[in-house]
Amino acid sequence: MKILIIHSFYRETGGEDNMVLEKIALLKAAGFDVELLGFQNPTKFLDSIVDLFFLLFNVSSFIKTLKKIRGYRPDIIHLHNWHFAASPSVIFAAHVLKTPLVLTAHNFRLLCPSAILFNNGELFLESLKEKFPWTAIKIGVYRNSSLQTFWLAFCVFVHKKLKTWQKVSKFIVLSDFMKDIFLQSSFGIAADKFVTKQNSIPDPIVWAKNGRGKHFAFVGRLVVEKGIEVLLKAFANTEFQLHIYGYGPLEQKVRDFAELHPNISFKGALPHENLFAELRKCSALIFPSIWYEGMPLTVIEGLSTGTPIIASNLGAMSTMIQNHSNGLHFEAGNPLDLAQKLAYWSARSEEEKAQYSQRARATYEENYTPEANLRRLLAIYSGAINEYKLKLKLTDK
């Protein structure tokens, strides 16, 4: 099987970029013929404006993709980020040359210009039902600009009318929750076009069901949507110990809060090479996000080390974490409920906590290993190729 991966790399390298490269390495290690057609989103402001202008249909990207397909002749194309250097023109190129294409929706950009269904410190869901996201445009959910928000929304809308998204063989979403959001929205793509495939990470082989400390841990960006304020309020004036690892706009607030509350320790950014060792030391990982996470790697990393997770019952966390099995749920945005769950967890026996840990590790082994990811990915590829071939035969008739 020959696989062409297409991806627009972000201005600042992030988790999605790394994930794409890891999947390429995984496929190559399994013996598959894989090539990458990469586009780079520019770092300079004027270059960004130019690329954004051509988001509707980037002729240069279209020609580049045509040449790549003709020269490489892939069996299937896997498109990740099309925004904005690639543009939906790459889908047209695949369609012109009759090559099946699957698209991974890493976020909700096809449903709302915000991409994350979050704005101004709270969930923003108005775009899901609107035929055209006028509310999002009015408040400028993309870069705080009504003009740029309109243009992004217009481009997605035009391609809905052109049935560009119908040309995608399969949409890969990261969780069943994400799939439900797409199906309940005004996007208009049939349910059989969506398949769920979780992310994965290599086995860290660092986990323990016993010997953990008494402290809780938070690892992540220090931003509003990660529920930092909920986290701080829940631990304030308690005896529960919290270690916070991260960086971001709310760093100074976290530092100031930690100085006033001796049970909270701000540890700064955590180098990735030290992440798993720190996770296995804590009693439980706190994940208090207040937005619809797609497939948070921090949760997978925690599960891989057998770390029970106390998470907000929202978005992907509602299915990744099974309440009273591999972790606990609390009401999203509710620091009082989180504090109650901390007390509940601390009252558990060491034996009961060890059982949670074993189930957390089992969740990783069943769902989030590279081997499980590869099996699911290949099944999606094969299904998309076979369905496309059948469609071509029926069309020829």
Q: What's the pLDDT at 397? A: 58
Q: Do 118 and 223 contact (CB within 8 A), yes or no?
A: no
Max CA separation in the chain (angstroms): 75
pLDDT of residue 294: 86
Contact 219, 275 (CB under 8 A): yes
Task: Tell me what pLDDT residue 209 has.
Answer: 60
Element holding 303 (H helix, E strand): helix 297-304
pLDDT of residue 184: 96
Q: Which domains does the chain have, with CATH numbers?
A: 2-106+163-200+370-396 (3.40.50.2000), 216-367 (3.40.50.2000)
Residues of the chain with pLDDT under 50: none
Per residue in 303-320, pLDDT (tens digit) is: 999 999 999 999 999 999
CA distance 228 to 244: 10
The pLDDT, as a whole number, for residue 49 is 80
Find out whether 127 and 133 touch, Cβ atoms under 8 Å: yes
* pLDDT confidence of residue 44: 78
Q: Could you check whether the bond before residue 84 is cis, i.e. omega within 30 degrees of 0?
A: yes
Percent of the chain with pLDDT over 70: 98
Q: What is the DSSP string of 108-150?
A: STTT-TTSSSEETTEE--GGGT-SS-HHHHHHTTTTT-HHHHH
Q: Name, in order, each residue with C-beta under 8 angstroms of 137's C-beta and a sequence gap of 6 or more.
A: 113, 146, 149, 150, 153
* φ and ψ at residue 237, rounded to 5 degrees: 60, 35
* pTM (whole model) above 0.75: yes
Phi/psi-derived region of residue 387, left when phi > 0, alpha when psi is between -120 and 50, beta in every other case: alpha
Whole-angstrom distance, CA of residue 195 vs CA of residue 376: 10
For residue 334 the two structure tokens come to 């509710």
Q: Give residue 52's pLDDT.
A: 83
